[in-house]
Amino acid sequence: MKIKSIIAIAAAMLLGISLQAQEYKGPLKPVRLGIAVTAGSNSYLDVTALPGMQTSYGAEALSVGWTDKATAFGLEGTLIFCDRWKLDLGGEFSYYNNPAYVEVPGTYEGVAGYEIGQIPDYEAVNAKADLNWLAHMAFSYYFRMPSVPCLRPYAGVRFTGAYASNWERTDKYEALGSSDAETYYFSVGALVGVDWYFSQNFYVGMAVEPYRYTYGVVKYRPQEGLAPIGADTHFNGAFVEPRLKVGFLF
18 pLDDT tier (thresholds 50, 70, 90): very low
Residue type, 201: N
Q: What is the pLDDT of residue 24?
A: 46
CB contact set of 15 (below 8 Å; sequence gap of 6+): none
The reported pTM is 0.79
Report the C-alpha gap between 231 and 98 in whole angstroms.
28
pLDDT in tens, 162-216: 999 999 987 766 667 789 999 999 999 999 999 999 988 899 999 999 999 999 9
> How far, in Å, CA of 88 to CA of 92, rounded?
14
The Cα-based distances of 218 to 48, 69, 72, 228 in angstroms read: 10, 18, 23, 10
Q: Note the pLDDT tens digit of each residue in 104-145.
A: 888 777 666 667 777 888 888 889 999 999 999 999 999 988
The pLDDT, as a whole number, for residue 220 is 93
